[in-house]
Each structure stands twice: as structure tokens, then as C-alpha cells.
């Protein structure tokens, strides 16, 4: 996606500033205020929706991308997402009966496709922990757009189970995966996942994904096999260059994500955010890079290609991307909706409440009624949290947000 930020002033790149800073917050884990039980009822409207392709929210953004969380559980405890002080043995996950079944998820996805969605991303928690996920993938892979095209179907995973599952996922119809990996040094990676998980197992998972053909592009390269690294200035800044060296020449796409203030438990502070501009500057000390055009409208990453001796992008060397959610917010073309594990519809990663779709689903709403209800919610959407980040009330009075492990990344 393009990264211009309308209305938001990026913080200085060299002197981090924090509009919402609380002294001492980086060391502190804020207790979870459970937002999962808050929800908004969905109504079936009587007014007709605009035709296919014309649905727009209040900021004229279409609905194109649906992220589906299939579990709120995870086997990692990345401290920026599920700090183990909060997500401990006492933490109550959603009971199985609350989760949407595969049939319910597929039905909702079909309705979303009728509203303009062209990309489905399975996420979580750790999606590969959901039993028989291949069955869901098979069902989703069979969906078609109104003009008969397959959807862009993908999944984000921490890679821990990928070695075992890559072939089955591909056979079920998954086209590509994004693997999260926050460092290539084993000690750093073990500290980031906070469950002492070795980096070698994730690397084997990535190799298995490649061997299964996940992420293969039309040119026989693996540019659609993406590796995501969340950068925390205090924790894994020294992993940026080693990660780039490791994936350079693989044809895979390595992306650096700015650490975000999602949820309320990770003790986020601006000083921990390394602006993407600094990431690019650092990479350029070793690799010549050329800026690339976005590959699709609403793309979250700004793309850079590794250049050859002539200064031109050499696709065989691969590319890197930066996702500047904090310093260059991209709300103005955000076309994403999120479906939580138990069927709540969220319109923004930073929302405090979801819309209760499961209630409609389980109370005999027809597909047309579901479509009208979702369409109405989308038409009323005006979220742009990241563009307004600096204006939000900091501290305990700040509006509560759901956790990322619950609605998915």
C-alpha cells in the first residue's frame, strides 16, 4: 500500500517522541481489560445496498480484504503481542462452542466476497493450532468471485508447525504464506518468542513451505513467500541486517513491521518504535535498493527491490518491504475487515468493540440479510486510528482496544 499519511505528523526519525507516553511504561505490563465480551448488535437494514463494487465506507474506502482469526490460542508468547505475564496459565481462552465452525466461516467469507472482498487471510493466535485447518482451506479455496475468479487466499503463521503442515496446506489449496520471524540469531529469537523456541525449526518450516510451492510467483520465484519481522528498537534492532543477509538472494520477500500499540497489554511506547525510514537507511548501508510500485491498491507494505550493478531491481535477489503503521499511517486506503474467532466483525485493528455477526448467523439470517447487515456496517465505518494516533488520550483513560491475538494481525 502507499504510505502517505494524511493529517498525521510523523515523529522525528532521530529523536523519538511519544504522543501517548507514560513514564516507565516500557517495563510495565498493563493488565488485560477483557474487551472480548463487548459487542454491538447487528441489524438487518431495509434499505438496499449499492451494487457490487460500489460499496464504500464514510471515507470512500472499498471492502477488499477479510482477515479471519481461527483461534485465540498460541504456542508463542511474543512480548509485543501475548506477554506471558498476562497470557499465563490462568488466562481464559474462548470455549470451543463459541468459535465459528468451518461452515460458518466459509459462509461468512462467501457473503464478504459478494460485497467486494478479493483476499482472505487466515490468522490468529496461531492459525496452525486450529485442528483440521486444511478442511477450512479447502472450503475457502473453492470460493469464486462473481466473475468466476479464485480468491487470493493466504495465511500468517509463526512457522512453528509449518514443517509438518506445509504440504497438506498446499494440497488443500493454500497459495502462499507469511511467516513471522523476529530474528535470525537463535538467542534473540528465543527471547522474542519467550517460550525458548529455536530459530532452526522456523527456518525448516520456511524451507518446507518453499518445497511445497507456497508463495511461488508467475516467474518461478518465491516473492509471495513473505517473512515478517516486527522491529522493537530495544530488542531486535541488531537483527535487521543479519535477516536481510539471510534472505537476500532467496527470492522471498522480507518485511519489517513497526511495533504497534495494539491491545492494551504490551506496554507499548514510542521509544520502542524504529521508524521504517531508519530501517531502509540501515539496509542501504549494505544493499543498494530501488523503490518499487505497490503491487495492489491498499497494500500495507512499501516495497523496495535489491538492485543489480546497473542500479536496477533484480527480482532474483528478492525484495524487502516496510510496514510503517506508526510513522506513516495508511488508513486512507485501508480496505480490511477482521472476523474474530467467535464471529465478531471488527473494522479496525484498534477497535474496542466488534459487531456480533455470529448472533445473526445462528439466528436464521439469510445470506442476503447477512450481506445487507455487513454492508451497512461497512458504509458507516470511519475508522482511522493510526492517522489520529497522536490525538488519542494516553494512559489508563485511553479507549480500550481488543488484543491482536484475538482478532488476528
Count of residues touching ligand SF4 (by CB under 6 A)? 23
* Contact indicator for 221, 164 with CB cutoff of 8 Å: no
Binding residue for ligand SF4 (CB under 6 A) from 49, 66, 70, 78?
78
**Alpha-carbon distance 195 to 11, whole Å?**
33
* Contact indicator for 271, 288 with CB cutoff of 8 Å: no
Q: How many other C-beta atoms lie within 10 A of the C-beta of residue 333?
A: 19
- Among the residue ranges 104-112, 304-312, 358-366, 381-389, the one whose residues contact ligand SF4 (CB under 6 A): 381-389
The secondary structure of the chain in percent helix, strand, coil, rounded to multiples of 5, reads 30, 15, 55
Q: Which positions ≥6 away from 48 have C-beta within 8 Å?
A: 372
Q: Quick one: 303 or 336, whose CB is closer to ligand SF4?
A: 336
Could you say which of ligand SF4, ligand SAM, none residue 350 binds, taking C-beta under 5 to 8 angstroms by partner kind?
Answer: ligand SF4
Could you say which of ligand SF4, ligand SAM, none residue 253 binds, taking C-beta under 5 to 8 angstroms by partner kind?
Answer: none
State the minimum distance, in angstroms, from the CB of residue 261 to ligand SAM: 7
- Phi, psi (5° rounding) for residue 190? -60, -40
Binding residue for ligand SAM (CB under 6 A) from 66, 230, 279, 377?
230
Binding residue for ligand SAM (CB under 6 A) from 3, 35, 39, 158?
158
C-alpha pair distances (Å), 27 with each of 23, 30, 136, 261, 266? 10, 10, 40, 15, 9
**Alpha-carbon distance 302 to 261, whole Å?**
20
Binding residue for ligand SAM (CB under 6 A) from 11, 67, 80, 133?
80
Q: 303 pairs with which residues across the strands? A: 321
Binding track over 253-282 against ligand SAM, x by CB under 6 A: ----x-xx-x---x----------------
Could you say which of ligand SAM, ligand SF4, none residue 266 binds, taking C-beta under 5 to 8 angstroms by partner kind?
Answer: ligand SAM
Binding residue for ligand SF4 (CB under 6 A) from 126, 278, 299, 319?
126
Binding residue for ligand SAM (CB under 6 A) from 39, 79, 139, 156?
156
Burial of 271 (0-12, 13-18, 19+ CB in 10 A): middle
State the minimum distance, in angstroms, from the CB of residue 38 to ligand SAM: 20
Q: How many other C-beta atoms lie within 10 A of the C-beta of residue 206?
A: 24
C-alpha pair distances (Å), 211 with each of 75, 150, 205, 249? 24, 23, 10, 16
- Among the residue ranges 34-42, 60-68, 83-91, 150-158, the one whose residues contact ligand SAM (CB under 6 A): 150-158
Q: Rule CB under 6 A: which of 81-110 touch ligand SF4?
A: 81-82
Residues engaged in binding ligand SF4 (CB under 6 A): 74, 76-78, 81-82, 124-126, 158, 180, 330-331, 334, 336, 348-350, 383-386, 405
Amino acid at each position: 500500500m502507499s504510505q502517505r499519511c494524511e493529517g498525521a505528523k510523523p515523529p522525528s526519525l532521530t529523536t523519538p517522541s511519544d504522543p501517548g507516553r507514560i513514564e516507565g511504561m516500557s517495563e510495565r505490563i498493563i493488565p488485560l481489560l477483557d474487551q472480548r465480551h463487548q459487542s454491538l448488535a447487528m441489524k438487518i437494514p431495509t434499505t438496499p445496498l449499492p451494487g457490487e463494487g460500489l460499496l464504500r465506507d464514510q471515507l470512500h474506502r472499498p471492502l477488499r480484504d477479510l482477515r479471519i482469526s481461527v483461534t485465540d490460542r498460541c504456542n508463542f508468547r511474543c512480548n509485543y503481542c501475548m506477554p506471558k505475564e498476562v497470557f499465563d496459565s490462568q488466562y481464559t481462552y474462548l470455549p470451543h462452542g463459541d468459535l465459528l465452525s468451518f461452515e460458518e466461516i466459509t459462509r461468512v467469507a462467501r457473503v464478504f466476497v459478494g460485497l467486494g472482498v478479493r483476499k482472505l487471510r487466515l490468522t490468529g493466535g496461531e492459525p496452525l493450532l486450529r485442528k483440521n485447518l486444511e478442511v477450512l482451506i479447502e472450503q475457502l479455496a473453492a470460493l469464486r468471485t462473481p466473475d468466476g475468479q479464485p480468491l487470493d487466499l493466504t495465511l500468517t503463521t509463526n512457522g512453528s508447525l509449518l514443517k509438518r503442515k506445509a504440504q497438506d496446506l498446499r494440497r488443500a489449496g493454500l497459495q502462499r504464506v507469511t511467516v513471522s520471524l523476529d530474528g535470525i540469531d537463535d538467542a534473540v529469537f528465543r527471547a522474542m518468542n519467550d517460550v525458548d523456541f529455536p530459530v532452526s525449526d522456523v527456518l525448516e518450516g520456511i524451507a518446507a513451505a518453499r518445497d511445497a510451492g507456497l508463495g511461488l510467483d508467475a516467474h518461478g520465484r518465491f516473492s509471495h513467500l513473505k517473512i515478517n519481522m516486527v522491529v522493537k528498537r530495544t530488542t531486535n534492532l541488531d537483527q535487521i541486517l543479519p535477516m536481510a543477509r539471510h534472505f537476500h538472494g532467496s527470492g522471498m520477500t522480507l518485511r519489517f513491521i513497526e511495533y504497534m500499540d495494539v491491545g492494551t497489554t504490551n506496554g507499548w511506547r514510542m521509544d520502542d518504535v524504529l521508524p521504517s525510514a531508519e530501517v531502509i537507511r540501515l539496509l542501504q548501508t549494505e544493499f543498494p535498493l530501488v523503490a518499487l510500485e505497490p503491487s495492489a491498491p491498499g497494500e500495507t507494505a512499501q516495497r523496495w527491490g535489491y538492485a543489480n550493478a546497473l542500479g536496477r531491481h533484480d527480482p532474483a535477489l528478492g525484495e524487502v518491504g516496510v510496514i510503517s503503521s506508526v510513522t506513516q499511517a495508511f488508513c486512507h486506503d485501508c480496505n480490511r475487515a477482521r472476523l474474530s474467532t467467535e464471529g465478531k466483525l471488527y473494522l479496525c485493528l484498534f477497535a474496542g468493540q466488534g459487531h456480533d455477526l455470529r448472533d445473526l448467523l445462528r439466528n436464521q439470517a439469510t445470506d442476503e440479510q447477512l450481506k445487507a447487515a455487513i454492508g451497512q456496517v461497512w458504509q458507516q465505518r470511519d475508522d482511522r486510528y493510526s492517522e489520529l494516533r497522536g490525538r488519542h488520550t494516553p494512559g489508563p483513560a485511553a479507549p480500550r482496544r481488543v488484543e491482536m491475538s484475538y482478532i488476528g494481525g
